[in-house]
């Protein structure tokens, strides 16, 4: 069976999207862009920047300059529209777009490119802030979160949130579940079956932390009644059919879950690392979700391969 990333690369090459890589001062970015372009996995677009020692390193790529008057003006106007309710003036917006990350996010927003990948140089907090101010959220969602696409031996499973929201409340947990289901559907083509995980299964324990998960379930069902979701479920109830038959008979999710939503960042982060290190899963992520268009984050310790893979996923998510 081919890995999920091989399948995603094949899909991406059939419909390559314009993916902006703004951190062109990083040699890893240019190496990844070259591979992406050669394999037709996406159409890499790079940012011409004044801090580059030589613009010649960008030869062979499509370049958007940081001082392109047409794009700068359009991005400033878009930022003003996004943030004028916060008291931002048009003059201040024009100054703000001098920041390469924010400029990149606004280029995504105005449709100059289909998505962007950053974070090999910038911190996660900087990437997310630029995404919030520039790209904006999916309608009805207020929570930026993350997910990992976990490739096990015989299937791909989405884990969320494992990288952004430390202690989500019920509303945030509901939005994480909705976003994770959407991410899973787009990337795998599968019908998402979402398990809201807990140390309790359908009333086996009583605690305010369990109540939060139950409330999140109610909120998801109100917002998206067609989504296949259940909770609260212990992991074994969500994953093992025999256990599910005993603990949660009749559940549409128990024993069949392919989207696992964790009650907090502690549990999600620990779980994906155990699955990767002890379970042998391939972990793709963390990948940002909840935004109107893809604006993906990288680790500053990322490999060239990571940049390629995240760019492929950004291209797939640019629907």
pLDDT above 80 for 25: yes
pLDDT above 90 for 146: yes
Indicate the domain borders of the chain.
Answer: 4-136+291-317, 145-283
Distance CA 203, CA 201 (A): 6
Using alpha carbons, select from 37, 83, 85 the residue that is nearest to residue 94: 83
Class of domain 4-136+291-317: alpha beta
- For residue 258, give Cα distances in angstroms to 155, 186, 190, 229, 245: 9, 13, 9, 10, 17
Q: What is the pTM of this model?
A: 0.85
- Tell which phi-psi region holds residue 255, choosing left (phi > 0), alpha (psi between -120 and 50) or beta: left
Distance CA 306, CA 295 (A): 15
Mean pLDDT of 137-141: 87
How is residue 15 written in tokens? Answer: 């419909």
In sign, the C-alpha dihedral spanning 182, 187, 193, 199 is negative
When pLDDT is cut at 50, 70 and 90, the band that residue 1 belongs to is: very low
Tell me the pLDDT tens digit for each residue of 44-82. Answer: 999 887 766 566 667 788 889 888 889 999 999 999 999
Tell me the pLDDT tens digit for each residue of 192-204. Answer: 999 999 999 998 8
Q: Are 107 and 64 in contact (CB under 8 A)?
A: yes
Residue 257 three-state SS: coil
Using alpha carbons, select from 4, 68, 12, 71 the residue that is nearest to residue 37: 12
Tell me if 4-136+291-317 shares its fold with 145-283. Answer: yes
Tell me the pLDDT tens digit for each residue of 230-268. Answer: 989 999 999 999 999 999 999 999 999 999 999 999 999
Q: Please, which residues have CB within 8 angstroms of residue 106's CB and are 6 or more apart in sequence? A: 74, 75, 78, 79, 97, 134
Q: Are 162 and 272 in contact (CB under 8 A)?
A: yes
pLDDT at 56: 66
pLDDT at 283: 86
* Residue 286, preceding peptide bond in cis (omega within 30° of 0): yes
Higher-pLDDT residue of 60, 132: 132
Distance CA 240, CA 209 (A): 23
The CATH code that applies to domain 145-283 is 3.40.50.10750
* Residue 29, preceding peptide bond in cis (omega within 30° of 0): no
How is residue 308 written in tokens? Answer: 């390629």
How is residue 267 written in tokens? Answer: 């549990």
Distance CA 9, CA 152 (A): 18
């Amino acid at each position: 069976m081919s890995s999920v990333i091989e399948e995603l690369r094949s899909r991406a090459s059939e419909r390559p999207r314009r993916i902006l890589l703004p951190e062109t001062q990083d040699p890893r970015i240019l190496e990844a862009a070259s591979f992406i372009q050669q394999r037709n996995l996406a159409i890499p677009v790079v940012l011409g920047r004044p801090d580059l020692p030589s613009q010649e390193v960008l030869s062979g790529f499509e370049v958007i300059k940081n001082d392109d008057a047409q794009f700068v003006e359009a991005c400033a106007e878009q930022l003003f529209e996004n943030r004028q309710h916060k008291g931002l003036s048009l003059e201040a917006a024009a100054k703000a777009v001098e920041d390469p990350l924010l400029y990149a996010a606004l280029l995504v927003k105005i449709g100059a490119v289909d998505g962007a990948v950053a974070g090999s140089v910038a911190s996660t907090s900087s990437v997310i802030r630029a995404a919030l101010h520039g790209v904006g959220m999916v309608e009805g969602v207020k929570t930026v979160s993350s997910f990992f696409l976990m490739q096990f031996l015989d299937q791909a499973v989405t884990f969320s949130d494992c990288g952004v929201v430390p202690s989500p409340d019920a509303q945030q947990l509901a939005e994480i579940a909705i976003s994770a289901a959407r991410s899973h559907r787009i990337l795998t083509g599968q019908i998402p079956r979402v398990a809201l995980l807990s140390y309790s299964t359908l009333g086996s324990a009583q605690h305010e932390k369990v109540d939060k998960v139950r409330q999140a379930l109610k909120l998801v069902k109100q917002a998206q009644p067609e989504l296949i979701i259940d909770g609260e479920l212990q992991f074994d109830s969500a994953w093992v059919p025999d256990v599910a038959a005993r603990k949660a008979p009749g559940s549409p999710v128990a024993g069949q879950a392919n989207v696992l939503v964790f009650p907090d960042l502690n549990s999600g982060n620990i779980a994906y690392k155990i699955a990767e290190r002890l379970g042998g899963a391939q972990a793709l992520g963390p990948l940002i979700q909840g935004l109107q268009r893809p604006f993906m984050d990288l680790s500053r310790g990322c490999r060239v391969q990571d940049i390629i893979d995240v760019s492929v996923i950004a291209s797939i998510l640019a629907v």
